[in-house]
Amino acid sequence: MINFRFSCPTEMIFGKDVQLMAGEETKKYGTRVLLHYGSGHIKKSGLYEQVTESLKKAGVDYLELGGVQPNPRLSLIREGIRLCRENGIDFILAVGGGSVIDSAKGIALGAVDNGDVWDFYEGRRKAQKALPVGVVLTIPAAGSESSVGSVVTDMDNANKRAYDDEIIRPKFALMNPELTYTLPPYQTACGAADIMAHIMERYFTRVPHVDLTDRLCEAALKTVIGNVSLVLAKPEDYDARAEIMWTGSIAHNDILSTGRVGDWSSHMIEHELSGINDVAHGAGLAIIFPAWMRYVYRQDISRFAQFAVRVWNIEMDCFDPEKTALAGIDALRSFFKFFGLPVSLAEIGITSEHYERIAGNCRRTNGDAVGNFMPLQSSDIINILKIAQ
């Protein structure tokens, strides 16, 4: 186990009707709010009205900026920054999923900075401050509601970049599983894949003796695996939706990272995919993660065998642990496929002609080598893309 720091100051407020507390929670931090959201779905569902009523009741002024798309755009963030500056906004309330929250974090960074917000995402500067952000969560997936990260896409240059900083961790997250009842099956599955990927990025480490966090990761993975089929069979299963929603936060608030170094190369490769074709993040991960596993598992067959045995209940072949390890990878890929996610690049129209560019971008953005479990060179990335083809 390696040294670490951990705290999770985001106030997680979880359960039925918690969205009605948006006003009183917001008021603890600000009085002139940017209400940030995505499509018009929250207007149809009645959530928009519930949140705005709650803000009004608490005496909080608000201004609106909707239109966040999946893989949130730098262009909208720039618009939000302008709005905040012109209107003396002191708090951003994100109502939506990971894309809306990540977009809100980007605006929060830029609104109190004089330079270009993209500098942070490109790694050219570290932010000094940010507006406080709160969340009403509607999609369990990204874990952004209690994380320090924000991932943004510059469509003009097909670049998707991440910025991590404690100062953009949300102050509170209102999490009502009922708000996820209307998520379509495909988006539910994408969310599950994203949550599982956040856990697996942490699970596949080369740091020895990480018993507690290994087991916590396995617990979280088994919870998602067990509950996805329940919500797909019955979209209004409150408890199953609740399990997935809460696991989505635990998966990414860094408690599962304590004392270990995660890998993150599947995420970095996936960022380049959706920079090219705008695939949903979870779907991109469903393609890349099993291929990455196939390519790197020989670095630590014991760990992959443990993953197979403990997460997928595959019987250990004590005479051939590699067989067990491979069976775990197959189980993951089959699981993704069963729930309608793509598991090959061909399915999303990415072909061998893109491989060089993906590998090149990925290397350029991430320095000398990509990932930690097995540091990848460009040739390794191309080999992984070939496995995923």
Q: At what angle do helices 74-87 and 98-111 cross, to 10 degrees?
A: 50
- Minimum distance from residue 267 beta carbon to its own copies (Å): 23
Q: By C-beta, is 103 or 227 nearer to its own copies?
A: 227
Distance, CA of 96 to CA of 110 (rounded, Å): 20
Q: By C-beta, is 9 or 123 nearer to its own copies?
A: 9
CA torsion, points 97, 99, 101, 105, in degrees to nearest 10? Answer: 170
- Minimum distance from residue 240 beta carbon to its own copies (Å): 8
Phi, psi of 165 (to 5 degrees): -165, 135
- Minimum distance from residue 101 beta carbon to its own copies (Å): 17
Are 178 and 14 a contacting pair, CB within 8 Å?
no
In the block, residue with structure tokens 């008021």? 27
What angle is formed at CA 159 by the lines to CA 154 and CA 162, rounded to 5 degrees? 90
Q: By C-beta, is 331 or 369 nearer to its own copies?
A: 331
Q: By C-beta, is 12 or 388 nearer to its own copies?
A: 12
- Minimum distance from residue 172 beta carbon to its own copies (Å): 9
Residue 271 DSSP code: H
Nearest to 168 by CA among 181, 149, 193: 149
Four-residue CA torsion sign, 301, 304, 309, 310: positive
* Site residues, its own copies (CB under 8 A): 1-16, 18, 208-209, 211-212, 215-216, 218-220, 222-223, 226-227, 238-240, 242-243, 246-247, 250, 255, 258-259
Residues 6 or more apart whose CB falls under 8 angstroms from that of 331 comprise 308, 312, 314
Q: By C-beta, is 9 or 115 nearer to its own copies?
A: 9
- Minimum distance from residue 253 beta carbon to its own copies (Å): 9
- Minimum distance from residue 270 beta carbon to its own copies (Å): 25
Q: By C-beta, is 160 or 202 nearer to its own copies?
A: 202
